[in-house]
C-alpha cells in the first residue's frame, strides 16, 4: 500500500501548492503543471543536478538553486522564471550549443530534441560565444544503435539508466572538464562491448540526437524519455500499462505523418 | 610461500595481486590500486585496467572513468627521461612558459606527450610547492630551482649522459 | 505614398536554400514588391552592393575571404542586417568543416588525394577566393540586428520577420520563429 | 597489545639525549631546500663532522622547513646554552666551513649568515609551524619532546567530548582551507549526528598553485596533524579517520604513514588510545592529481574510489558523507591548530589575531619579493607588513602592483589597500579571499589580464566537467581572456566577459566553478584600464 506522504505548503510563482515532504521543487512543480525547464533530470533516475537549466530562485537565498535537487521546505517561496533566470538559462544553453557540434539541420533528432526545444523556450536565437567545433568521431559500430558524440551534452542520462535501471553499466564518463566524454567499457567501439544488452534504454533516454537507431535519417529519431519513469513505477507498484506509443523503435513509426 | 605467478608469466602481476590482497579487494581502493599498477607497469594499458576492473568487481567503464579523471595516470608508455615544468603561479610569474616552450621546441615534444624517439616525456605540473625557488623543474625526479630555458636544456642533456657514464 | 524600402539579399557560404524559401513566399512577393525595391540580390543582376540599403538579408556563413569582404561592405552600407537562416546564424552545415581544422588539408584531400590523376588545388585568385581558417557565423564578423534561424527558415517565418521589421513590430519573443534546423 | 606510551618519560629521555651533544646542526631537508641542493650539503655536514672527529659532540639532523625558502639550503647551528646561528645558501663548501667554525677552525663568510632579527623572523607567531624546522619529523620521540600528543592526552583524560567542542567553539577558530567556516560549529554538527560510524577527514589536497603550507605541516610535523585529527574524532564520536593527501606530495605521504605506524605502536592510535575507551584508526589516502578534490564532496568521492565529482549539498557531509555516514572534513592547517588550543586554552588562542579572525595564518610568500618562503603571522597583520617588512619589498627597484591571495578562487589586492588587515572579512570586502594561504606578489611588469587568463586556464583544466556553467563556461571565459590578451579582443568582449562571470558564479554546482570568475572580476575591478587598452589596441590594429 502506498504510504501517506506529509504535505508541505510552498509557493511557486505566486501559486500556493501542497508539495510532498521529500519531494524536490521540480517534482512538486510538475505535479501541479508548473513548467520548469530541465535537461539532465529524468524521472526515475537518480538526480545528477548538473545541467543547471532548472535553476530557480528561492526566497532568502542569494544563489539560484537547481529545482531538481532542492527539496521542498515548509513555506518555501520559489520563482521559476525571473528575468535573471531566463538570462542565465539562455547563457547556459548558448554554452552547450557552442561546446559540441549541434547542427540541427542534419540531426536525426531535429524537431524531437530537448536541447533544441529548450533553446526555443529560452528565446535563444543565436550563440554569442565562439563555437568550439571539437573533432569527435561518430561510433556506428553497434549493429542496432549509433553514438554521435558531437551532439552529446554529457547529461549522463544514458550512464544512469544503463547502471540504475538496466544494471549493465556499459556507459560511463571518461576524462574531465571540457574533455569529459562518454565511453563504453574501456573506450573501445560500442559494437565491441560485451556488456551491452541491446536494451535501447540509453537511446530512449537521450535528450538529443547523440544516441539513435541505425538507419535513422534527419528528424526520424524518436526518444521515449518517459519510458524510465513507467518502468520504475511498474516495478514498484506491479502495475504494467501498455505504452501509449512504441518507446523504442523509430522504424515502426516511419509511417507516421510527422 | 611465494605469491602465485600470474598466468601470463608476468611476475609484475604478483605485486599488484599482493596489494589487492592486502586491501581485501576493496572497491574504494580503486585509486590506490591504479597507483600501484602504474608504479609496477609504468602506465595503465587496457589489459591492466581490465585486470583491475575484474579484481575489484567494477564495471570497466567505471574504472576507465576514474583513471582518466585524475591527471597523474598515464595510458601510454613514458619516455626514458621525464621533464616536468612547474606552471604554478609563482613559476608562471617568473617565466615558466619560456622553459616549456624551449623544451617543447628543443625536443619536438608537446606538453603531456613523449617525443617520437621515446627519449623525453614533457609534463607541466601544478604547483610543486617550491615557490621560493621559482621557476622549478623536475628532471627524472630531481627538483631544480631558479631555472631558465638554457639551464633546463642543459640539465636534460646532463641527465641523458648519466647512463653513458655508468656504462 | 512613402518611399520604398531598399532591400538587399546576400548569398555567402550557404546552399541558396534560404533564398529558395524566400521565393516560396509566393504571392506575398507581390505585396512585398509594393513596399520594397530589391537593390542587390543573387536573384537580380546587380554587380556592386549599393550604398544606402535599409534592410539586408544575409544567407550563409562567412567561409572565405570574399564572404568576409562582402560582409563588411554590406554592414557599412546597410541600416538593418538580418542573419538569414542557420548558416548565417550558427555556421550550420557550412561550418561542419571546422572540426577538421586546416582548410588546405581538406582541399588537398578533395582535389588531390581523391582525384585519379592531375589533381590540383584550385587557387586562381581572385576568381577562386581563399578559404578562411574557420567558417564563422555572420555575427562574429559584423554586427547583426535580427536573427532569423531555420534551415531554411519556412516562408511564413521569413514573411513574419520581414513584415515585422518593415512595420517596426517584430516582437522580442518570437516563439517557434527562432527554432534552429 | 603494547602498553600505552608514557609521554613524559619519552620526552624527558629525548631531551636528555639531545643534551648530550654540546652542538647540534639542524639542516632543512624540506622540498624547497632539497631542490636548492640540501641533500649534498647535509651529507657534507655529516661526513665533515666525522672527518674532524667531532662525532661525539656534534649531532647533525635533518629537519623541516625553516621558512626563508628563497635563500636555501638553510642550516641552523645550536650550541648548548642557547646560542644559535643560521646560515643560508649552504652548499658543500659552506657546509665544510660551518663544521670548521664549530670545530673552532675558521669562520663562515658573512654573506652566508642570516640575521635572525629581521622582520621575516621576528614578526612571525608560530603555532601551526611551532615545531617545523625544529623536530625530526621521522622520530616520534623528537615530536613528543616538543609537546606532541600532550593535548590528546589532556583531552582524553581530563575533558569530555563536549568540553573539547566547546573549547574549539570558544577559540573562534575558522577553517583554514578557504571559506573560513567556524570549526567548532562544524564539530558540533558531527557530534550531534547519531550514527554507529562517523568519519573525520583531514583535507591535505592542497591544490592552489603557489601554496604549500599544508605540505609543510604534513612533512615537517606529521604528528600534529594526526593529533589534531584524533582530538577531532574524540570530540565528535568518530572512530575512523582519513588523511587525504595529494599525490604530488610523496614525502608527506611517506612521513604521515611512518608517523601513523609509530603512533599506533605507542597506543596513540588504534584500540583504546592511551589506555582509554577511545578507539581511533587513521589511514592515508592519496589523490591522483585533481584540484577539485579539495572540495568536500569531491574529496569524499575520491576516498570512495570514484571520480572526484562534487555533488549537491545539502545533504552536508556531517549528515551523509563518506560511505553515506556522517563525516567531517577539516583542512590540515585547521587541524594543526587544535593541539595548541586544547593545550593552552581557547582564551590564549582567541587573544591572537582579530575579534572575528582568531589565531594565526600561514602564508606562502612567492612572486616578486626579496624574501620568499613560508611565514606564520597573527591574523590582522597588514598586507604592508607582510610584503614590505617581512617580504623585504619588491626587488630590482620595481614597484609593487598587486598581491594575489586565494589562488584561482581569490583576487588581486592593489597597492591602495596595502594597509588592509589580513583577515577573512577584510579580504572578502576587497573581492579576494583568505584562501588556503598562497600570497603572490606581482610587480609593475605584470599584466593583470594575463594573470586572470592564467587562473582561468587553471580552473578550465581543473573543472570536473560535471556541471555545464563550469565545464563550458570556463572554456569560454578562457577563450575571451585569451583573445583579449593576444590583442584580438572585440568591442563587446568586456560585457560578455562580465555577464558570463555572473552566470558561472551564480549557477555552478560547487565552489570551484562558483569562485572561478573571481580573479577576472577582481582584476576587472581594479585594473579595468589594462583590459580596455588591450581592446583599444585591437580596435586600431
| pLDDT one-digit tens code per residue, A189-247 | 999 999 999 999 999 999 999 999 999 999 998 888 889 999 998 888 887 766 555 44
CB B72 to CB D302 under 8 A? Answer: no
Whether A83 contacts chain C with CB within 8 A:
no
How far is Cα D26 from Cα D28, in angstroms, rounded to an integer? Answer: 7
CB A173 to CB B65 under 8 A? Answer: yes
- CATH of residue C160's domain is 3.40.50.700
Categorize the per-residue pLDDT at C3 as very low, low, confident or very high, splitting at 50, 70 and 90. Answer: confident
pLDDT (mean) for A36-48: 96
From the list D465, D466, D473, the residue facing A95 with the nearest CB is D473
- Residue C105 inside a domain? The answer is no
Question: Looking at chain A, which residue has its C-alpha nearest residue C89?
Answer: A126
Whether D63 contacts B123, CB under 8 Å? no
Structural domains for chain A: 21-86 (3.10.20.740), 101-249 (3.30.70.20)
From the list C95, C100, C144, the residue facing A135 with the nearest CB is C100
From the list A171, A176, A187, the residue facing B69 with the nearest CB is A176
- Residue C114 inside a domain? The answer is no
Whether B34 contacts chain D with CB within 8 A:
yes
The DSSP annotation for D489-540 comes to: --TTHHHHHHHHHHHHHHH-SSHHHHHTTHHHHHHHHH-HHHHHHHHHHHHH
Q: Tens of pLDDT along B51-102?
A: 999 999 999 999 999 999 999 999 988 888 989 998 887 888 888 999 999 9
- Residue C166 inside a domain? The answer is yes
**Chain A contacts in chain D segment 475-504 (CB below 8 A):** 475-476, 479, 496, 499-500, 503
Rg (CA), chain A: 19
CA of B93, closest CA in chain D: separation in Å?
6
- In this model, does residue A1 exceed pLDDT 70? no
User: CB-side exposure of D243: number of CA atoms within 13 Å?
Assistant: 36
pLDDT score at B165: 44
CB A50 to CB D467 under 8 A? Answer: yes
How far is Cα C45 from Cα C59, in angstroms, rounded to an integer? Answer: 17
- Residue C48 inside a domain? The answer is yes
- In this model, does residue A75 exceed pLDDT 50? yes
**Residues sharing a CB contact under 8 Å with residue A244, sequence separation 6 or more, in sequence order:** none
Sign of the dihedral through C-alpha B107, B113, B117, B119:
positive
pTM for the full model? 0.93
- Residue C121 inside a domain? The answer is no
Categorize the per-residue pLDDT at B3 as very low, low, confident or very high, splitting at 50, 70 and 90. Answer: very low
According to DSSP, the residues that pair with C36 across neighbouring strands are: C5
pLDDT score at D492: 93
pLDDT (mean) for B47-54: 96
- Residue C119 inside a domain? The answer is no
Q: Given a contact as 3+ CB pairs under 8 Å, which chains touch C?
A: A
Categorize the per-residue pLDDT at B163 as very low, low, confident or very high, splitting at 50, 70 and 90. Answer: low
- Total domains present in chain C: 1
CB D468 to CB A52 under 8 A? Answer: yes
CB A154 to CB D467 under 8 A? Answer: no
Whether B72 contacts chain D with CB within 8 A:
yes
What are the chain A neighbours of D290 within 8 Å (beta carbons)? 176
Pairs across A and D, CB distance < 8 A: 91
Which domain range does residue C148 map to?
Answer: 5-97+132-178
Q: Give chain C's count of helices (H) and strands (E).
A: 6, 7
Whether D390 contacts D429, CB under 8 Å? no
pLDDT score at B126: 77
Structural domains for chain D: 19-116 (3.40.30.10), 147-350 (3.40.50.11540), 360-443 (3.10.20.600), 448-540 (1.20.1440.230)
- For residues D145 and B10, which has the higher predicted lDDT (pLDDT)? D145
What are the chain A neighbours of C101 within 8 Å (beta carbons)? 135
The dotted CATH code for B81-166 is 3.40.30.10
pLDDT score at B90: 81
pLDDT values of chain D reduced to their tens digit, one per residue, 541 residues: 456 778 999 999 998 988 889 999 999 988 888 888 899 999 999 999 999 999 999 999 989 899 998 898 999 999 987 788 999 999 999 999 999 999 888 889 999 999 989 999 999 999 999 999 899 999 999 999 999 999 999 999 999 999 999 999 999 999 998 779 999 999 999 999 999 999 999 999 998 888 889 999 999 999 999 999 999 999 999 999 999 999 888 889 999 999 999 999 999 999 999 999 999 999 999 999 899 999 999 999 999 999 999 998 889 999 999 999 999 999 999 999 999 999 999 999 999 999 999 999 999 998 899 999 999 999 999 999 999 999 999 999 999 999 999 989 999 999 999 999 999 999 999 989 888 889 999 999 999 999 999 999 999 999 999 999 999 999 999 999 999 999 999 999 999 999 999 999 999 999 999 999 999 999 999 999 999 999 999 998 8
- Residue C110 inside a domain? The answer is no
CB A180 to CB D468 under 8 A? Answer: no
- Residue C112 inside a domain? The answer is no
Percentage, residues of chain B above pLDDT 70 = 92
Amino acid at each position: 500500500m502506498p504510504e501517506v506522504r506529509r504535505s508541505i505548503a510552498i509557493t511557486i510563482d505566486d501559486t500556493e501548492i501542497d508539495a510532498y515532504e521529500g519531494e524536490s521543487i521540480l517534482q512538486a512543480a510538475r505535479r501541479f503543471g508548473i513548467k520548469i525547464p530541465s535537461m539532465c533530470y529524468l524521472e526515475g533516475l537518480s538526480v545528477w543536478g548538473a545541467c543547471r537549466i532548472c535553476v530557480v530562485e528561492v526566497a532568502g537565498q542569494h544563489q539560484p538553486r537547481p529545482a531538481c535537487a532542492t527539496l521542498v521546505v515548509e513555506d518555501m517561496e520559489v520563482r521559476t522564471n525571473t528575468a535573471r533566470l531566463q538570462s542565465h538559462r539562455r547563457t547556459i544553453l548558448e554554452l552547450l550549443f557552442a561546446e559540441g557540434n549541434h547542427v540541427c539541420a542534419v540531426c536525426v533528432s531535429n524537431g524531437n530534441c530537448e536541447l533544441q526545444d529548450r533553446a526555443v523556450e529560452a528565446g535563444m536565437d543565436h550563440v554569442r560565444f565562439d563555437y568550439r567545433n571539437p573533432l569527435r568521431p561518430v561510433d556506428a559500430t553497434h549493429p542496432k544503435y549509433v553514438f554521435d558524440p558531437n551532439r552529446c551534452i554529457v547529461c549522463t542520462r544514458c550512464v544512469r539508466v544503463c547502471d540504475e535501471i538496466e544494471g549493465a553499466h556499459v556507459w560511463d564518463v571518461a576524462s574531465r572538464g571540457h574533455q569529459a566524454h562518454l565511453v563504453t567499457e574501456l573506450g573501445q567501439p560500442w559494437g565491441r562491448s560485451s556488456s551491452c544488452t541491446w536494451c535501447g534504454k540509453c537511446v530512449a533516454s537521450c535528450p538529443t540526437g547523440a544516441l539513435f537507431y541505425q538507419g535513422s535519417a534527419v528528424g526520424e529519431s524518436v526518444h521515449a524519455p518517459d519510458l524510465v519513469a513507467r518502468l520504475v513505477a511498474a516495478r514498484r507498484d506491479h502495475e504494467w500499462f501498455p505504452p501509449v506509443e512504441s518507446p523504442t523503435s523509430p522504424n515502426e513509426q516511419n509511417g507516421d505523418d510527422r | 610461500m611465494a605469491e602465485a605467478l600470474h598466468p601470463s608469466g608476468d611476475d609484475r602481476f604478483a605485486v599488484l595481486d599482493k596489494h589487492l590482497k592486502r586491501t581485501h579487494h576493496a572497491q574504494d581502493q580503486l585509486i590506490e590500486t591504479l597507483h600501484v599498477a602504474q608504479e609496477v607497469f609504468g602506465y595503465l594499458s587496457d589489459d591492466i585496467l581490465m585486470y583491475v576492473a575484474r579484481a575489484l568487481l567494477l564495471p570497466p567503464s567505471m574504472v576507465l572513468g576514474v583513471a582518466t579523471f585524475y591527471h597523474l595516470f598515464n595510458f601510454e608508455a613514458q619516455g626514458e627521461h621525464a621533464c616536468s615544468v612547474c606552471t604554478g603561479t609563482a613559476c608562471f610569474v617568473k617565466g615558466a612558459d619560456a622553459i616549456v616552450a624551449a623544451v617543447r621546441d628543443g625536443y619536438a615534444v608537446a606538453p603531456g606527450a613523449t617525443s617520437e624517439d621515446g627519449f623525453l616525456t614533457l609534463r607541466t605540473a601544478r604547483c610543486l610547492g617550491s615557490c621560493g625557488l621559482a621557476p622549478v623543474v623536475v628532471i627524472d625526479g630531481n627538483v631544480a630551482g631558479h631555472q631558465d630555458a638554457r639551464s633546463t636544456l642543459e640539465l636534460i642533456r646532463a641527465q641523458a649522459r648519466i647512463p653513458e657514464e655508468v656504462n | 505614398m512613402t518611399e520604398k524600402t531598399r532591400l538587399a539579399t546576400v548569398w555567402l557560404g550557404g546552399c541558396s536554400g534560404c533564398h529558395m524559401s524566400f521565393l516560396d513566399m509566393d504571392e506575398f512577393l507581390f505585396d512585398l514588391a509594393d513596399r520594397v525595391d530589391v537593390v542587390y540580390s543573387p536573384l537580380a543582376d546587380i554587380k556592386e552592393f549599393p550604398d544606402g540599403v535599409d534592410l539586408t538579408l544575409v544567407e550563409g556563413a562567412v567561409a572565405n575571404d570574399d564572404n568576409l569582404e562582402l560582409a563588411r561592405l554590406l554592414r557599412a552600407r546597410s541600416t538593418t542586417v538580418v542573419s538569414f537562416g542557420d548558416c548565417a546564424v550558427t555556421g550550420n552545415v557550412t561550418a561542419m568543416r571546422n572540426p577538421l581544422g586546416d582548410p588546405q588539408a581538406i582541399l588537398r584531400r578533395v582535389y588531390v588525394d581523391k582525384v585519379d590523376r592531375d589533381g590540383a588545388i584550385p587557387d586562381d585568385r581572385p576568381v577562386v577566393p581563399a578559404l578562411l581558417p574557420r567558417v564563422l557565423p555572420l555575427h562574429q564578423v559584423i554586427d547583426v540586428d535580427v536573427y532569423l534561424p531555420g534551415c531554411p527558415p519556412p516562408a511564413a517565418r521569413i514573411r513574419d520577420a520581414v513584415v515585422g521589421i518593415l512595420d517596426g513590430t517584430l516582437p522580442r519573443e518570437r516563439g517557434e520563429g527562432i527554432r534552429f534546423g | 597489545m603494547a602498553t600505552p606510551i608514557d609521554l613524559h618519560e619519552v620526552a624527558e629521555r629525548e631531551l636528555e639525549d639531545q643534551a648530550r651533544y654540546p652542538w647540534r646542526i639542524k639542516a632543512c631537508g624540506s622540498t624547497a631546500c632539497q631542490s636548492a641542493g640540501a641533500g649534498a650539503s647535509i651529507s657534507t655536514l655529516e661526513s665533515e663532522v666525522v672527518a674532524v672527529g667531532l662525532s661525539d659532540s656534534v649531532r647533525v639532523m635533518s629537519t623541516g622547513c625553516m621558512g626563508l625558502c628563497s635563500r636555501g639550503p638553510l642550516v641552523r647551528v645550536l650550541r648548548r646554552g642557547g646560542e644559535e646561528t643560521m646560515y643560508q645558501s649552504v652548499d658543500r663548501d659552506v657546509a665544510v666551513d660551518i663544521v670548521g667554525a664549530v670545530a673552532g677552525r675558521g669562520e663562515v663568510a658573512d654573506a652566508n649568515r642570516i640575521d635572525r632579527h629581521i622582520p621575516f623572523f621576528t614578526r612571525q607567531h608560530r603555532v601551526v609551524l611551532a615545531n617545523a624546522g625544529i623536530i625530526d619529523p621521522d622520530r616520534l620521540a623528537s615530536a613528543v619532546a616538543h609537546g606532541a600528543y600532550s593535548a590528546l592526552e589532556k583531552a582524553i583524560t581530563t575533558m569530555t567530548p563536549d568540553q573539547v567542542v566547546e573549547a574549539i567553539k570558544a577559540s573562534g577558530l575558522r577553517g583554514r582551507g578557504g571559506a573560513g567556516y567556524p570549526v567548532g560549529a562544524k564539530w558540533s554538527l558531527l557530534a550531534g549526528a547519531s550514527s554507529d560510524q562517523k568519519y573525520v577527514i583531514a583535507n591535505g589536497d592542497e591544490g592552489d598553485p603557489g601554496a604549500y603550507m599544508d605540505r609543510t605541516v604534513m612533512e615537517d610535523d606529521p604528528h600534529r596533524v594526526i593529533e589534531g585529527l584524533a582530538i577531532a574524532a574524540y570530540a565528535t564520536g568518530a572512530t575512523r579517520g582519513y588523511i587525504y593527501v595529494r599525490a604530488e606530495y610523496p614525502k608527506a605521504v611517506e612521513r604521515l604513514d611512518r608517523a601513523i605506524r609509530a603512533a599506533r605502536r605507542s597506543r596513540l592510535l588504534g584500540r583504546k588510545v592511551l589506555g582509554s575507551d577511545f578507539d581511533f584508526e587513521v589511514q592515508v589516502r592519496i589523490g591522483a592529481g585533481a584540484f577539485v578534490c579539495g572540495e568536500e564532496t569531491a574529496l569524499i568521492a575520491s576516498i570512495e574510489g570514484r571520480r572526484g565529482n562534487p555533488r549537491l549539498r545539502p545533504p552536508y557531509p556531517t549528515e551523509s558523507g563518506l560511505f553515506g555516514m556522517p563525516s567531517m572534513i577539516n583542512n590540515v592547517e585547521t587541524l594543526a591548530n587544535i593541539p595548541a588550543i586544547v593545550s593552552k586554552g581557547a582564551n590564549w588562542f582567541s587573544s591572537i589575531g582579530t575579534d572575528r579572525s582568531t589565531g594565526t595564518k600561514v602564508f606562502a610568500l612567492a612572486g616578486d619579493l626579496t624574501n620568499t618562503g613560508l611565514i606564520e603571522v597573527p591574523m590582522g597583520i597588514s598586507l604592508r607588513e607582510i610584503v614590505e617588512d617581512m617580504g623585504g619589498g619588491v626587488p630590482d627597484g620595481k614597484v609593487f602592483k598587486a598581491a594575489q591571495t586565494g589562488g584561482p578562487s581569490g583576487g588581486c589586492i592593489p597597492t591602495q589597500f596595502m594597509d588592509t588587515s589580513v583577515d577573512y572579512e577584510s579580504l572578502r570586502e576587497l573581492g579576494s579571499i583568505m584562501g588556503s594561504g598562497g600570497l603572490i606578489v606581482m610587480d609593475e611588469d605584470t599584466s593583470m589580464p594575463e594573470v586572470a587568463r592564467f587562473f582561468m586556464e587553471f580552473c578550465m583544466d581543473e573543472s570536473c566537467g560535471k556541471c555545464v556553467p563550469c565545464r563550458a563556461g570556463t572554456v569560454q571565459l578562457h577563450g575571451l581572456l585569451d583573445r583579449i590578451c593576444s590583442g584580438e579582443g572585440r568591442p563587446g568582449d568586456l560585457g560578455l566577459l562580465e555577464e558570463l562571470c555572473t552566470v558561472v558564479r551564480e549557477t555552478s554546482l560547487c565552489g570551484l566553478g562558483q569562485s572561478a570568475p573571481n580573479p577576472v572580476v577582481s582584476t576587472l575591478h581594479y585594473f579595468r584600464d589594462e583590459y580596455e587598452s588591450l581592446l583599444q589596441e585591437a580596435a586600431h590594429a
